Structure 1
Amino acid sequence: MVSNRCKMAVKEELKKLKLHFMVVDLGEVEIMENISMDQRQLLKAALLDSGLELMDDKKSMLIEKIKNVIIEMVHHSTEPIKVNFSDYLSQKLSHDYTYLSNLFSEVQGTTIEQFIISHKTERIKELIIYGELNITEIAWKMNYSSVAHLSSQFKKVTGLSPSHFKQLKDKRRNPIEEIGNVND
């Protein structure tokens, strides 16, 4: 789950199956009762119809948690991003960063760093489109050491400078669910 819309879809499916939940958060659900295999299969099918997936294995769940922590920090944090992502992920997920990084690369076919850069680029596009902040303020908010660093990374990902992107009439943005996927 990567958005509030996903959380709402999951809650709706749980209600339809008359399953009571304590928590529906990004990447995890805590159900009050034990569910039967039939209920699990119904839930799995319903989630697939909504474009979501029920994950059973620990590694897949950990990958989802990594993605959700990154998405939460990049897209939903109101405070400037002023922490080291590797330390933050290790602390938040209670795993050594090297383990998280190797697992993520093995399963996703991209590095955590590239996933973060993809999301930061998308967030920068959003901030440029809204026009509330200038590029210097965006660089500060997104924890870049300089406007030049932001511009360089943005151009490497999009092929455009931030100022050229701002001038485009048709500003292409990607849904959060599609950012950082190797198949893009």
Structure 2
Amino acid sequence: METVLRIRGMVCGRCIQAVEQALKAVGVTVVKLQLGTVTLAHALSAPQLKQIKHVLEPQGFSLLLDPKVTLVEEVKASVQQLLDRQDLGDHKIRFSDLLEEALQLDYDTISAVFSGVEGTTIEKYIITKRLDKVKEWLVYSDLTLSEIAYRTGFSSVQHLSSQFKQLTGLTPSHFKAVKADRDLLRQKAFQALIS
């Protein structure tokens, strides 16, 4: 009989690898592993569950046993997966529809549980995560603001800039300029070291 565990704190591919290694160390057989969820080949005894909890916690992960917290983690994992798709340029995409489809619950229920557990709305959470993706691309890519706005599903550069400034207090171009200045200072410091 398969067992599905919900794991809090999984946000990227490296997290999947870390959890997989931790579970192998415990000796359980993983059938499927994705952000926030692991399917094991067999049922777990209480000592095995405790052992899994013990190996996950030092790495910043925790098992979710509360159904409301589990739903919130599923929402977060679904949002991250949607943002990782990088095809949000189709502005007809509605996160509410995608979450309903992914979680097989109506959006009002998902939203109410999320707000109750997290103390913020799903919409605010999604905007924050979209802007985190914008920051990532501003720092680590050569994409233009137009390309970033398109990929993160903002209707325009102006809309992106407005949301970005509201959250960070900076415009995206100022954020990128600050990053460029820091990079230049690092490069000069490095050149001074090797000279």
Further displaced range: 23-32 or 127-136: 127-136
Q: Which of 11, 15, 35 is residue 6 of structure 1 equivalent to?
A: 15
**Bigger share in helix:** 2
Q: Which of 28, 31, 35 is residue 26 of structure 1 equivalent to?
A: 35
- Cross-structure match for 1:77: 85
- Cross-structure match for 2:192: none
Q: Which of 107, 113, 134 is residue 123 of structure 2 equivalent to?
A: 113
TM-score with structure 2 length normalisation?
0.82
Percent of residue pairs bearing the same amino acid type = 39
Give how far 1:55 is off. 0.9
Give how far 1:7 is off. 1.2
Further displaced range: 133-142 or 93-102: 133-142
How do 1:1-184 residues align onto structure 2 when only pairs under 5 Å count?
Answer: 1-74=10-83, 76-82=84-90, 83-169=93-179, 170=182
Unpaired runs of at least 5, structure 2: 1-9, 184-195
CA–CA separation in structure 2 for the residues paired with 1:101 and 1:168: 36
CA–CA separation in structure 1 for the residues paired with 2:101 and 2:150: 24
Q: Is the contact made by 1:20 and 1:33 (CA closer than 8 Å) also made in structure 2? A: yes
Structure (1 or 2) with the larger CA radius of gyration: 2
Give how far 1:96 is off. 0.5
- Cross-structure match for 1:174: none
CA–CA separation in structure 2 for the residues paired with 1:123 and 1:65: 19
Unpaired runs of at least 5, structure 1: 172-184
Give the AA of the match of 1:105.
S
Q: Which runs of 4+ in 1 moved over 4 A?
A: none
CA RMSD of aligned residues (A): 1.5
CA–CA separation in structure 2 for the residues paired with 1:131 and 1:11: 29
User: CA offsets, 1:124-183, max 9 Å, x none?
Assistant: 112222342211222122221221111100000000011111110359xxxxxxxxxxxx
**Bigger share in strand:** 2
